[in-house]
Amino acid sequence: MVLESREVKQEPVGCIRLGERLVFWRTKDGRVVCQVDRCAHRGAALAKGKVLPNDRIQCPFHGLEYNEHGQCTCIPANGRAEPVPPQFKVKTYPTYEAQGFIWIYWGDSTPSATPRFFDDIGPEFSWGTVIDPWDNHYSRVIENQLDMAHLPFVHYNTIGRGNRTVVDGPGIMKVEEGFFIYVYNRVDDGSKRRTSEEVPVPNPNSDFKLEFIFPNLWENYISSKVRVLAAFVPVDETHTLMYLRFYQSFMKVPLLKQLVNWLGGKTNLYIAHQDRRVVETQIPKAPGEGTGETLFPGDLPIMEYRKMRSKAQPRQVEAP
């Protein structure tokens, strides 16, 4: 997931994702196109151009036109009678749009499936979104949301009230493309902490749980009528945008529904900024693997995420 649907309207939209300059635009029938934001001629930003009525994006520098597949279809300086050389093209990424989000497939092949979303968020839910910039690698921001041990310290006056410093478990249930986390934090009464094998999964005494969908979606299942969702969008090696959504289904009255969603977003942002103040001090800002960090058992969700991320990394092949 890289953008919300509402961010791409009629005009081209330029942004940086995973360190690459991209342009997004829509065809006449509303489909989202994602291309590298660099004209094949002299490198100008296509995002500064315009979308033509014939479903072409036009470079603002010399008027070159590109179709939704990235092939240049017109070089005005050469005249329309002259064929366009095939090397005049821009890289194009497959897109998918659902749930008010836009995904891109960052690969050279055709995606085999559509991105997975949370099964428990149905059409009865409405939402409000806030977008929060972090000066961290996206994996650092994700790991913060998988960290159970920081709650009583970072969020001592909000979601971490109660001084529940001992992390029993946590319980982990692996599913396709991700995992559920069941939280068993408690006050330290001197008894030995329970391991992840000793806590029940799922938790029979609570519906509360967290879910992570690789590579960058997280959900806090608070109750049957309330959810908090975060999408961790990588900008570059040290910058991330966190898209925070407050979902609810208990308020149906239109104006009051919007107010509740807005207030939920503001609350989410306040809590996120408690995290951000600390996470942005982590050294290095790059991913934590191989940096000398020493993890403890309560960090199990972070360990699971790092395994998934490591498995997804391209393998280096040594020369013979």
pLDDT band at 109 (very low <50, low <70, confident <90, very high): confident
Residue 315, pLDDT score: 63
CATH topology of domain 3-104: Rieske Iron-sulfur Protein (2.102.10)
Of 167, 174, 228, 222, nearest to 201 by C-alpha is: 174
Residues comprising the chain, all counted: 320
Domain range 126-312, CATH class: alpha beta
Residue 222, pLDDT score: 97
**Average of per-residue pLDDT across 26-36:** 97
Percent of the chain with pLDDT over 70: 98
Percent of the chain with pLDDT over 90: 91
Of 242, 260, 263, nearest to 251 by C-alpha is: 260
**Average of per-residue pLDDT across 296-313:** 95
**Average of per-residue pLDDT across 304-310:** 96
pLDDT band at 291 (very low <50, low <70, confident <90, very high): confident
Burial environment of residue 276 by CB neighbours within 10 A (0 to 12, 13 to 18, 19 or more): buried
Q: Is the pLDDT of residue 317 over 50?
A: no
Containing 259, the helix (H) or strand (E) segment is helix 254-279
Burial environment of residue 294 by CB neighbours within 10 A (0 to 12, 13 to 18, 19 or more): exposed
Residues 232-263: tens digit of each pLDDT: 999 999 999 999 999 999 999 999 999 999 99
Strand ranges, E, within the chain: 3-4, 13-17, 20-26, 32-36, 50-52, 56-58, 65-66, 72-74, 92-93, 95-98, 101-104, 126-134, 166-175, 178-186, 209-213, 217-223, 226-236, 239-248
Containing 277, the helix (H) or strand (E) segment is helix 254-279
Q: Are 2 and 13 in contact (CB under 8 A)?
A: no
Burial environment of residue 24 by CB neighbours within 10 A (0 to 12, 13 to 18, 19 or more): buried
3-state secondary structure of 223: strand
Of 299, 240, 161, 274, nearest to 1 by C-alpha is: 240
pTM of the model: 0.94
Written as six digits, the tokens of 24 are: 């997004």
Residue 316, pLDDT score: 54
Residue 71, pLDDT score: 98
**Average of per-residue pLDDT across 119-140:** 97
Which segments of the chain belong to CATH 3.90.380.10?
126-312
Of 92, 110, 97, 109, nearest to 46 by C-alpha is: 92
Rounded CA gap, 290 and 295, in Å?
12
Which segments of the chain belong to CATH 2.102.10.10?
3-104
Average pLDDT, the chain: 95
Residues 183-204: tens digit of each pLDDT: 999 999 999 999 999 999 999 9
**Average of per-residue pLDDT across 278-302:** 93
